[in-house]
């Protein structure tokens, strides 16, 4: 297989034959594995022997999460070259599968993030993840920024005591009440 990833043909994704229970996008590593199998005409051997280390999916082509420590010193420049990053730098950032897919899609789209976003090849296994987000997790958790927006801005001590908050407190005996409070 050529060093350049062969994306000059229409992806024939295994999603076209997915079973009825696969209504959701597959797990990201499974999608990568399928994509690599498509890339190698279905040959598991060719995927294993893939020499395209510059492909952002290369380290996870076997469908397994790579150990970043194995690549931390690797100076291989990842595609797309418009987004300069070495394999070692990618490892230092944790080797996110979604980010690898994002890079792969931008590379597939001639280096254009806009083109990747408007990709119409819905049968491609990477299509649901081309924005670098997992649609299976929509509505679950949130970014640090989003969580900061919805987190209470005041501590409990600063919150005013509501009548309902105080209803379990023992009553103050009448002779211990603040004399400034009218009976």
Q: Which residues bind ligand SF4 (CB under 6 A)?
A: 5, 11, 35-36, 39-40, 47, 50, 52, 55, 57-58, 61, 104-105, 108-109, 116, 119, 121, 124, 126-127, 130
**Closer residue to ligand SF4 (CB): 5 or 91:** 5
Q: How far is the CB of 33 from ligand SF4 (least distance, A)?
A: 9
Taking each helix axis from N to C terminus, what angle separates 28-39 and 97-108, rounded to the nearest 10 degrees?
A: 40
Q: Which is nearer to ligand SF4, 90 or 155 (CB)?
A: 90
Closest to ligand SF4 by CB, 98 vs 121, is 121
Q: Measure the CA–CA gap between 170 and 126, rounded to whole angstroms.
A: 62
Which of 40/85 has CB closer to ligand SF4? 40
CB–CB of 6/47 below 8 Å?
no
Q: Which is nearer to ligand SF4, 89 or 113 (CB)?
A: 113
Decide: helix, strand or coil at residue 179: coil
Name which of 63, 65, 39 is nearest 50 in CA terms.
39
Q: How far is the CB of 109 from ligand SF4 (least distance, A)?
A: 5
Distance CA 136, CA 24 (A): 7
For the bound state, the minimum distance from the C-beta of residue 44 to ligand SF4, rounded and expressed in Å, comes to 11
Q: Which residues fall within 8 angstroms of residue 90, CB to CB, at 6 or more apart? A: 56, 71, 78, 99, 100
**Least separation in angstroms between CB 147 and ligand SF4:** 29
**Minimum distance, C-beta of residue 91 to ligand SF4, in the bound complex (Å):** 16
Q: Give whole-number Cα distances, 138 to 49, 59, 93, 127, in Å.
A: 35, 26, 23, 16
């Amino acid at each position: 297989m050529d060093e350049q990833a062969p994306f000059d043909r229409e992806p024939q994704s295994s999603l076209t034959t997915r079973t009825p229970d696969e209504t959701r996008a597959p797990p990201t590593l499974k999608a990568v594995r399928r994509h690599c199998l498509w890339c190698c005409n279905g040959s598991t051997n060719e995927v294993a022997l893939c020499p395209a280390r510059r492909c952002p999916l290369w380290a996870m082509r076997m469908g397994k999460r790579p150990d970043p420590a194995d690549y931390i010193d690797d100076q291989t420049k990842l595609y797309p070259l418009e987004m300069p990053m070495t394999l070692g730098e990618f490892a230092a950032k944790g080797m996110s599968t979604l980010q690898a897919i994002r890079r792969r899609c931008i590379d597939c789209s001639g280096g254009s993030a806009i083109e990747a976003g408007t990709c119409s090849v819905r049968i491609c296994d990477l299509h649901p993840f081309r924005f670098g987000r997992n649609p299976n997790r929509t509505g679950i958790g949130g970014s640090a920024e989003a969580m900061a927006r919805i987190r209470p801005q005041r501590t409990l001590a600063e919150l005013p005591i509501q009548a309902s908050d105080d209803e379990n407190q023992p009553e103050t005996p009448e002779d211990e009440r603040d004399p400034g409070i009218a009976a």
